[in-house]
């Protein structure tokens, strides 16, 4: 087995709560009294473009929320979206910190997130202290589990895929990483991740 030199990480569901997933959307929509069904009908296509960096948050919200007059502003709504981001209850941040302190690995983000939320989360949770590179969907124009996103990561890193471990909480993304030749690990808590890393020869 090749020695692991690089570890790529999802963020929502591994390090932090999700940025704008089902639970977060429900909380914010309820707070502002926005109809869930009407929003969800408009969300998928707009979200795909937003997470790929093709439209701004204002354009996304114009399509999904502000297509009719509201008693609140875009700024108020965006602030509420950002407030949903918190450190995950059983976060892998502690493990990530130890790996970063060892200076033994290239550490990178490989996540699906829209630019405005991604930039906020990177800054608010000081993620540049942990990561060497940021292969976020909003920067590269691709979303997991698209195979092209993993190919791009390999092109950027110039590493043998067997040297790369990828951590994500979603099975489909893990399988896509495995299909690219990486060691895909599904995040099921920090203790489980430690065992997975130990099996790959990654010492904490």
CATH code of the domain covering residue 161: 3.40.50.1000
Q: Supply the pLDDT for residue 3.
A: 96
Last-in-domain residue among 65, 82, 99? 82
Asked whether residue 133 is domain-assigned, the answer is: yes
> pLDDT averaged over the chain?
97
- Helix or strand or coil: residue 168? strand
Q: Supply the pLDDT for residue 90.
A: 97
State whether 38 and 99 are in the same domain. Answer: no
State whether 29 and 71 are in the same domain. Answer: yes
Q: Supply the pLDDT for residue 2.
A: 87
Residue 65 is part of a domain; what is its CATH number? 1.10.150.240
Q: Supply the pLDDT for residue 112.
A: 98
pTM for the model stands at 0.96
Q: For 10-60, how does the pLDDT look when each residue is reduced to its tens digit (9 = 90+)? A: 999 999 999 999 999 999 999 999 999 999 999 999 999 999 999 999 999
Asked whether residue 124 is domain-assigned, the answer is: yes
State whether 39 and 135 are in the same domain. Answer: no
Q: For 130-158, how does the pLDDT look when each residue is reduced to its tens digit (9 = 90+)? A: 999 999 999 999 999 999 999 999 999 99
State whether 61 and 94 are in the same domain. Answer: no
Asked whether residue 28 is domain-assigned, the answer is: yes
Asked if residue 61 has pLDDT above 90, the reply is yes
Last-in-domain residue among 64, 82, 100? 82
Last-in-domain residue among 35, 55, 82? 82
Asked whether residue 159 is domain-assigned, the answer is: yes
State whether 78 and 114 are in the same domain. Answer: no
Percent pLDDT > 70 in the chain is 100
State whether 93 and 74 are in the same domain. Answer: no
Averaged pLDDT, 78-93: 98
State whether 109 and 33 are in the same domain. Answer: no
Distances (CA, A) of 54 to 80, 81, 139, 167, 201: 22, 19, 10, 26, 39
Q: What does the radius of gyration of the chain's CA atoms come to, in whole angstroms?
A: 18
State whether 112 and 40 are in the same domain. Answer: no
Look up the domain containing 78 and give its range: 22-82
State whether 95 and 162 are in the same domain. Answer: yes
DSSP letter, residue 3: P
State whether 44 and 77 are in the same domain. Answer: yes
Q: Among 20, 183, 167, 24, which Cα is nearest to 93's?
A: 167
Asked whether residue 150 is domain-assigned, the answer is: yes
Q: Among 103, 165, 152, 94, which Cα is nearest to 132's?
A: 103
State whether 34 and 110 are in the same domain. Answer: no
**Separation CA 184–CA 134 (nearest Å):** 18
DSSP letter, residue 4: P
Asked whether residue 204 is domain-assigned, the answer is: no
Asked if residue 1 has pLDDT above 90, the reply is no
State whether 13 and 94 are in the same domain. Answer: yes
Asked whether residue 1 is domain-assigned, the answer is: no
Q: Could you give the number of structural domains in the chain?
A: 2
């Amino acid at each position: 087995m090749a020695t692991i030199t690089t570890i790529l990480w999802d963020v929502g569901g591994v390090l932090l709560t999700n940025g704008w997933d089902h639970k977060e959307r429900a909380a914010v929509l309820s707070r502002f009294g926005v109809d869930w069904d009407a929003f969800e009908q408009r969300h998928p296509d707009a979200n795909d473009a937003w997470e790929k960096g093709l439209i701004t948050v204002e354009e996304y919200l114009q399509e999904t929320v502000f297509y009719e007059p509201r008693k609140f502003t875009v700024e108020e709504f965006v602030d509420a979206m950002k407030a949903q981001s918190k450190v995950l209850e059983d976060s892998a941040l502690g493990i990530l910190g130890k790996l970063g302190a060892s200076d033994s690995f290239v550490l990178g983000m490989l996540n699906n997130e829209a630019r405005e939320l991604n930039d906020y989360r990177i800054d608010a949770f000081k993620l540049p202290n942990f990561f060497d590179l940021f292969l976020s969907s909003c920067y590269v124009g691709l979303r997991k589990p698209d195979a092209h996103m993993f190919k791009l990561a390999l092109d950027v890193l110039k590493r043998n895929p067997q040297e790369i471990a990828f951590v994500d909480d979603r099975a489909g993304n893990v399988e896509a990483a495995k299909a690219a030749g990486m060691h895909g690990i599904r995040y099921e808590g920090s203790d489980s991740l430690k065992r997975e890393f130990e099996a790959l020869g990654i010492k904490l």
